[in-house]
Amino acid sequence: MSRTVLVPLDGSELAERALPFAVSLAARARTTLRLIHVHASTGGSASVFPSMEAAENHVLSAVDRARGRVSVVWGDVMQGDVVRTLVHEAAARHTTWIVMTSGGAGGEGRWAGRIAAAMIEGQGAPILLCGPAANSVPVAFTGATRAGRTLVPNIAVALDGTADAESVVPLAARFARVYSARLTLICVSPDGSMPAAAAIAARDMAGYADTLVERLDEPDLQVSRRVVLSRDPATAFTRAAVEEDADAMAISRTFLGRDAGTRAIITTARLPFLI
């Protein structure tokens, strides 16, 4: 079964920002890179192209730019309902990763943009989502060196002690193996109103994090953990990820959908998200 990194393109500059991330991932994972544009057959198109021919020219140009950096790259232009077609193609072609931006020509009418939000909700393939503020691939993912040492990417994983949030850990570990990266488990616990309660919460969450590290049972995978007490989990996680010099953040779909504050970090973070 071939492995594929799928990139939806809609002709917008914002959608194009996903390409460097996708090229990097496809090259490291040694997968096929597939660029796809769906020209909507009904009103409300997410495409900026006036015709199928214009869309084909755009996709071919993107394919040409990716060649030489990825061993196998190809493009498709299809017609139909955008979301249904993308979901079908992701499943039918055994897609390993979907790399896309939030927003694009589909607009920001929903928290991650109409198309991105529908893809997150509508299919199961892992998504590397690049928010509007993510302009370039973090330097650690490029194999760059500093002071004679290769930079090791750091993936921050959002946890709160629940199974829903924890479900993203295998995905984060898989991504970390592709890049020889390390994981930082950031466990956010509700802030206790009294110092004694806060100490108990921190201790319990630290024990949970240590147990999770043991359960990973991957000797070659570098894993560290950090416990944060806060009544605002989304802000606390984002701040801790920045303080830990994270190069990407991993968050489960269920955890992401809990509240507006958590969803808002997608549109403001400068780092890509694993979902």
User: Is pLDDT of 155 > 90?
Assistant: yes
Q: What is the DSSP track for 136-200?
A: S--GGGGT-EETTEEPPPEEEEEE-SSHHHHTTHHHHHHHHHHHT-EEEEEEEEPPPSSHHHHHH
User: Is pLDDT of 23 > 90?
Assistant: yes
CATH superfamily placement of domain 4-130: HUPs (3.40.50.620)
Are domains 4-130 and 139-274 of this chain identical in fold? yes
256 phi/psi in degrees, rounded to 5: -65, -35
Distance CA 214, CA 11 (A): 45
Query: How confident is the model at residue 162, as a pLDDT?
Result: 87
User: Is pLDDT of 111 > 60?
Assistant: no
| pLDDT tens, residue by residue, 206-259 | 888 888 888 887 888 999 989 888 888 888 888 999 999 999 999 998 777 766
**Averaged pLDDT for residues 28-43:** 86
Q: Where are the domains of the chain?
A: 4-130, 139-274
Residues of the chain above pLDDT 90, percent: 40
The residue ranking higher by pLDDT, 111 or 52, is 52
| pLDDT tens, residue by residue, 53-74 | 999 999 999 999 999 889 899 9
| pLDDT tens, residue by residue, 172-215 | 999 999 999 999 999 988 765 545 556 667 778 888 888 888 88
User: Is pLDDT of 109 > 50?
Assistant: no
User: Is pLDDT of 260 > 70?
Assistant: no
Q: What's the start-to-end Cα distance of the chain, in Å?
A: 23
Q: State the average pLDDT for the chain.
A: 84
* pLDDT bucket at 1, cuts 50 / 70 / 90: very low
Q: Give the CATH number of domain 139-274.
A: 3.40.50.620
Rounded to two decimals, the pTM is: 0.86
Choose the weakest-confidence range: 18-27, 120-129, 161-170, 265-274. Answer: 265-274
Query: How confident is the model at residue 6, as a pLDDT?
Result: 96
User: Is pLDDT of 44 > 60?
Assistant: no
Q: Is residue 237 within 8 Å of 228, Cβ to Cβ? A: yes
Q: How far is CA 238 from the centre of its chain?
A: 14
**Averaged pLDDT for residues 103-130:** 71
Compute CA distances 76 → 6, 103, 162, whole Å.
11, 21, 40
Buried/exposed 103-141: b ≥16 CB within 10 Å, e otherwise:
bbbbebebbbbbbbbbbbeebebbbbbbbbebeebbebb
* pLDDT bucket at 103, cuts 50 / 70 / 90: low
Query: How confident is the model at residue 29, as a pLDDT?
Result: 92
Query: How confident is the model at residue 193, as a pLDDT?
Result: 53
Number of helices (H) and strands (E), helices first, in the chain?
11, 12
Distance CA 265, CA 269 (A): 6
